[in-house]
Amino acid sequence: MKKIVLMSLLLSMTLFGETKAKVNPAETMQALEASMSMIQKGFLYNNKTMLSDAIASMKSKLENIDSFIIVNEKDKEFDAKKYAAKETKAILALVNYMEKLYNEDKKTDALEAYSNTLSRCVVCHKVIRKW
């Protein structure tokens, strides 16, 4: 079982270890989704290594968000790119907080931070995709 988990982590780290120069928004979002899934599994298996690796992967992928091209043609007063940048910072803060809580053995609070992170992701997608 541990071999399978470690192999999947190694494979995901290899696949998602792209350079910053080649940023594909769809691939970045898929990598973030995979990271969120691995974080959830880290909680379910109570596996600190899995959780830490997934959080590290998520943090590295959040750096790519600011290179996305977000065109806002419907509502010129709403700056979708600025909103996405603000949400990225908020999500990064939540992920850091989640990691801190987990490391302090406050797993219930860390899981709540995970839930808040996921909610923030969903809301951002809903807002940005309207544009």
Domain architecture of the chain: domains with CATH: 2-130 (1.20.120.10)
* Strand stretches in the chain, DSSP E: none
Give the pair of three-digit tokens for residue 80: 């979708």
pTM of full prediction above 0.85: no
**Average pLDDT for the chain:** 82
pLDDT confidence band for 12 (50 / 70 / 90): low
14, two tokens: 């290899």
